Amino acid sequence: MVDRTDRDAETREAEQRAQLWTPPQILPDPNPRDGWVHRYIRVKLLGDDDPVNASQRLREGWEPCKSEDYPEIQSKIPGMKRTGNVEVGGLLLCRMPTETYKKRQEYYDRLAAAQIESIDNNFMRENDPRMPLLKPDRRTTVTFGRKR
């Protein structure tokens, strides 16, 4: 009679691949909250206060996150300054409602598209029928297989 071990008792630990090392995150991420988008805003630059950047971001709609609302971040950073807000290395954790963030993003997307269109129009203004310039095609296509 052959002595066999159960398959449940077998492990593949010896056969597992070695896990790759990745550097730790510099800034701790807050736990996701429904209806909010989070971002770190610069409030200090090279040790000096940066009130211009901070006030501009606050006018955009970002609001500072209170430290009592984010205990998961407070526990990750020992010796952190207790200012009432979540601040890490001159960066202040802020949040914005998702709807406002989407509207803000749409505005900047339209602005970028208008800039690209302006560049294309300026480029095509130099077009001459005797030596035509090619308008850059900003679309890509993916094909599978080969045509017969």
Whether residue 89 sits in one domain with residue 53: yes
Q: Does 21 reside within a domain?
A: no
Positive or negative: CA dihedral 134, 138, 139, 143: positive
In a domain, 43, yes or no: yes
Q: Degrees (nearest 5) of the Cα angle 95, 68, 101? A: 5
| CB contact set of 70 (below 8 Å; sequence gap of 6+) | 30, 31, 86, 93
Residues listed for the chain: 148
Residue at 63 is within a domain:
yes
In a domain, 5, yes or no: no
Task: Render pLDDT for 29-66 as a digit per residue (tens, 0 to 9).
Answer: 888 889 999 999 998 888 888 889 989 999 999 999 88
User: Which pLDDT score is estimated for 32?
Assistant: 85
Could you tell me which of 54, 65, 62 has the C-alpha nearest to residue 104? 62
> Model confidence over 10-32: pLDDT tens digits?
666 656 677 888 787 778 888 88
Q: Could you list the residue range(s) of the whole structural domain that residue 115 is in?
A: 97-127
Over residues 94-126, the pLDDT tens digits come to: 999 999 999 999 999 999 999 988 887 777 777
**Count of structural domains, the chain:** 2
Say if 74 falls within a structural domain.
yes
